[in-house]
Amino acid sequence: MIASVTALIRKLGMAVLLSITVGGAAFVILLLFSSASLLWAGLIGLIIQQASYFLNGLFQIWGISSQYHLW
C-alpha cells in the first residue's frame, strides 16, 4: 500500500499536466468546430458538428491511454 501511495505522489503532477493538455486541446478543437458549424449553416455545418463528436471520442481515448502509460 505504501508503494502505491508513493507512486501516486510521484506521478500526480505529470498526470494532472497531461489531463490539462489533452483537455485543453480537445476544448480548442471543439470550439473551432462549433464556430465553423455556426458560420457554415446547412449540411456542411451539420457534418462539421457531427465530426466534432468523433474527435471528442478520440481525445478521450488519447487521454485514457496516455494516463495508463504514465501509471
Structural domain total, the chain:
1
Q: Could you give the CA distance from residue 28 to residue 21 in angstroms, rounded to a whole number?
A: 11
Write the single-letter amino acid at 34: S
- Summarize pLDDT for 4-61 with one digit per residue, the tens: 778 778 888 888 888 888 888 888 988 888 888 778 878 887 887 788 788 888 888 8
Q: Which helix (H) or strand (E) holds 64?
A: helix 43-70
- Under 8 Å between Cβ of 55 and 28: no
Retrieve residue 31's grid coordinates. 470550439
User: Which residue range(s) make up the domain with 64?
Assistant: 2-70
Q: Could you give the CA distance from residue 63 to residue 42 in angstroms, rounded to a whole number?
A: 32
Q: Could you give the CA distance from residue 4 to residue 22 in angstroms, rounded to a whole number?
A: 25
- Summarize pLDDT for 12-25 with one digit per residue, the tens: 888 888 888 888 88
